Structures are given as C-alpha cells and as structure tokens.
Amino acid sequence: MADYAFEKNYWGNCTNTFDEEQKHFVYARCMGIPLGHHSFTPACDRILDVGGGPASMLLKVEKLKEGLVWDPIAYPQWTVDRYAAANISVRTLPGELLNAAGWDEVWMYNCLQHTNNPEKIVKNCLRAGKVFRIFEWLDIPPHDGHPTMLTESLLNGWLATKGTVKFLDGVNGCLGKSYSAVLTGLT
C-alpha cells in the first residue's frame, strides 16, 4: 500500500486548499466537464470521485443529487460534514479496494501517481460507472508521496484507448505534460 503520510501532510488542516482547487477548472476542461459560472454542470445526477481529497471537484457541481468521494486518507471531520451538506458521502479506502458500481460518472484527477497499483485503480473505475473521466500528469519521476511515474503508453494500455496529451503552460497552477480521456458506454 502507498504511504499516504506525505499527501496528508500536504493538505495539513485542510483550511487552505486553493492550490489544488484552482486547478479544478483546468482539469474539468481537459476532462470534457461542462462549466458554469465558478461551477461544473455535467448532465448527470450521481458522480463518484476517486481520490477527491478534502476539496473534491464535486463540491462545485450544480444540482448534484448524489456524490461519493473515495479517498484513502481520513481528513478532518469538518470536511466530511461539508461534503454531507452537499449530498456527498465519503469512503476512506484506497482506490485499489474500490468496489462501487452503478454511478452515472466516475471522475479521477491528479490521483494515480500517489498510488502503488494504478492499473488496478483504473480497472476498478472502469467498472464503477457509465462514464469515466480522467486527468493525470505524465512523465514525473517517482519522489516522496509519488511512487508511480505515469506515461502515455501505460494509461493508453490500461484504458484501451488513446487519451489526449498536452503540455499545460502554468495557467491556474497547471504546468507540465498532462493526459486526459473520457470513456463512455461503460458497465
């Protein structure tokens, strides 16, 4: 299992999540998620966010009927309470143990490099919903808290599709080579 101490330490008490939240709108564009005014407007009711942390993109979804954040780290209770106020449940388990099914959409972004078995997590996500949207950073060598280096060929193989690769130039804190894909007609 991955060592999640680095990631938990990064978030601290979870009161300043801006560094990651500003990136959400870049991730959403790459993942084909429709944008509203400071929000997301997907055409679905139920969304699972794998690895959503303490400030999931689901908090920005207009008219979300049901959400689930599946993340291996236990964050402060106030983050769980905030999720509950937005019809979002939390499961504190690693993505390797994801056993959810029947979701309209599954979202995963900036998650897999933090794990030891990203292929298993991808396979679990593909079984969990009708649509799978993914955004990940590519070609970053392993370092503290990031034991896995993702490549375009690895992700294309796990997803059995060719994702979109582009270099992001620093807008909203997003700098580097990225991979995104939207898979539909699943489950």
Integer Cα distance of 51 and 7 in angstroms: 11
Residue 171 structural domain: 5-183
pLDDT at position 187: 76
Q: Say what the pLDDT of residue 44 is.
A: 96
CATH value at residue 24: 3.40.50.150
**What's the pLDDT score for residue 1?**
52
Domain count, the chain: 1
Instruction: Round to whole Å and give the CA distance between 108 and 135.
Output: 6
Q: Rounded to 5 degrees, what are φ and ψ at 17? A: -110, 10
pLDDT in the model for residue 3 = 72
Q: Is there a contact between 76 and 54 (Cβ–Cβ < 8 Å)?
A: yes
Q: Which residues of the chain have pLDDT under 70?
A: 1-2
Q: What is the pLDDT of residue 136?
A: 98
Q: What is the maximum alpha-carbon separation in the chain? A: 40
- C-alpha span between 11 and 20 (Å, rounded): 10
* pLDDT recorded at residue 2: 65
